[in-house]
Structure 1
């Protein structure tokens, strides 16, 4: 049985994994979520998530995410789970990943399932923003731009919104953050697609924020370490991040971040959590397991282990210690 703890104890733990700020204004029942010392990561797998033609089935994704939210928040229904995480007055940013272009981007079905969850909280659709680095990237992946019309908004930092004039500095990172992140939203849902990355090792929740600032080209040396860690240690990112939802329906085991069809496979999964280091750690293990199945060398053996996981843990972003990660299979 999952232990319930006090609101004070929950807030203390939440601060450690970077979701503490802003929680005090959320509904009291949020403190009743899974709050053991371990970082929970849900792993939902359903082979029926793609039909015989390879199309992602919306109803199955909805079910997978709903069941994941119940487990993650330790509630009897998905509606309560969403209400414990968000308020009706929130402006929620859904940070997706479209950099890889057509064929390998955050699935619309996953985004749709998240939007359905936010509807339980009665957040106006105009206060939900799907966003990424550029509108060009969004269009390439068939996301329809909606800057100021009715319904859910969808737009990029570029060309219109832009970046902060002054850079944010943290450790060895220095960059101008997207105004969507800094000014437009009160809460963030980080929704990466699980991929191998030819420089960082893997690209997941933490690497997804390379689409949140102006100069990512400056921070790819040394397998992006410690830059990814320093970026994700920025208080504003930690404070606004409420939820991580990993699109692991068809991950990429090698040759990323662009699409290499021969190394995609049907994992048919979704991962959720609060701790970006823990969720990325689980994503890394999934990639490594697939590489072994294919007879590929490990990321360590090819010279690109995701060292930033350890660096992020040292900076208090989260945990990469499997003993401190609770894997919850849905």
Structure 2
């Protein structure tokens, strides 16, 4: 062996080590890109993509093919991927159980519209997600059934589930000193003792079954929360003992962001879609088309707070145009959400792109 052999061997080992480190580095970058592979903002501001199609509805009813095209376009643009499959796989894996959260109590016309849910589900299935891994869900089975989601789930081969029917996990709850009037179905209903009624327990569906959540919320006014949007829909649909927060804006302003901040709830959300085909500026959870404006839009973002504030502002604009009664929107809720680092409530700090 020559005198240079040990040196050569050391150089080989060093080179191998450098290559290995570089491989690990680029592997890490690739993995991180897959986990957070959304098209970057030039300003690092939260991105919102609005897809608008003037032909998306006809006489207030969605046109399924147009809506499906809007879903594909918004998804690809938000993630920066040229194919919908790659776009979805940057958000979920084929091993995930993906819960599509809908707001079904207003019915199929003013709540989350079935055409949007069908388009998202079909796109997920086309991307390789097993239909049995897709769950259309809301709090109450009766609302889901009345809105037509049981029939839709059967036709698509996906699941449908109600968080209240799944039961509540006694080990995971939101604690608030405000004591609620417990109703049938709440975890502590008819229990007695100190502290009973102070907790809102997380549904076993959300905590134990779903690994990722796609939140599809309508643009529908709410007198205390401003909008029956992403934060309101997901939080109050995920826990029990929620009647104690309703009717008082200040209570909702505290409870909704704090519940959303629970790891079992907000951390599972990978995509928010505002169903803005119509915007209803009065009526709350009742479907009232004469208080609605046709917008023909779907709005996409990872930032639920941003989308909700945009909806609140749009509904204010609609009320002004209609010369309807104005009321002060509860923006404290969304400012509190920003303080908890759940999203951005300042619209001037968003990057908004509209595709027509």
TM-score normalised by the shorter chain: which range applies? 0.7 to 0.9
Query: CA offsets, 1:203-244, max 9 Å, x none?
Result: 100000211111221112225211111111112222211110
Q: Is the 8 A contact 2:99 2:210 kept in 1?
A: yes
1:151 alignment partner in structure 2: 157
Q: Return the offset for 1:74.
A: 1.5
Q: What is the aligned partner in structure 1 of residue 104 from structure 2? A: 98
- Kindly state the Cα deviation for residue 78 of structure 1 after the two structures are TM-superposed: 2.4
Deviation, 1:102, is 5.4
Q: Deviations over 1:147-200 (max 9, x none)?
A: 9999200121233x1121245126778411111110111100011111111222
- Residue in 1 aligned with 2:56? 49
- Alignment match of 1:33 (pick from 30, 38, 42): 38
| Corresponding position of 1:249 | 277
Deviation of 1:77 (Å): 2.9
Partners of 2:164 and 2:240 within 8 A in 1? no
Aligned equivalent of 1:214: 240
Unaligned runs of 5+ in 2: 1-27, 178-197
Q: How high is the TM-score relative to the length of structure 1?
A: 0.84
Task: Measure the CA separation in 2 of the matches of 1:150 and 1:264.
Answer: 30
Residues 24/205 of structure 1: CA separation in 2 closer, same or farther (3 Å cut): farther
Structure 2 CA distance for partners of 1:322 and 1:102, relative to 1, 3 Å: closer
CA contact (8 A) 1:135 1:145 kept: no
Shift of 1:29: 3.6
1:189 corresponding residue in structure 2 = 214
Alignment of 1:67 onto 2:73: yes
Task: Tell me how far apart the structure 1 counterparts of residues 152 and 335 of structure 2 sit (CA, whole Å).
Answer: 39
Indicate yes or no: 2:157 matched with 1:132.
no
Following superposition, the deviation at residue 307 of structure 1 comes to 2.0
Maintained 8 Å contact 1:71/1:328: no
Q: Which runs of 5+ in 1 are unaligned?
A: 1-22
Per-residue deviation, 1:251? 1.8
Residues 209-218 or 144-153, more deviating: 144-153
Query: 1:114 maps to which residue?
Result: 120
Q: Tell me how far apart the structure 2 counterparts of residues 24 and 299 of structure 1 sit (CA, whole Å).
A: 48
CA contact (8 A) 2:47 2:301 kept: yes
Instruction: Normalising by structure 2, report the TM-score.
Output: 0.78
Aligned residues: 303
Q: CA deviation at 1:265?
A: 1.6
Partner of 1:177: 202
Q: Root-mean-square deviation (CA), in Å?
A: 2.5
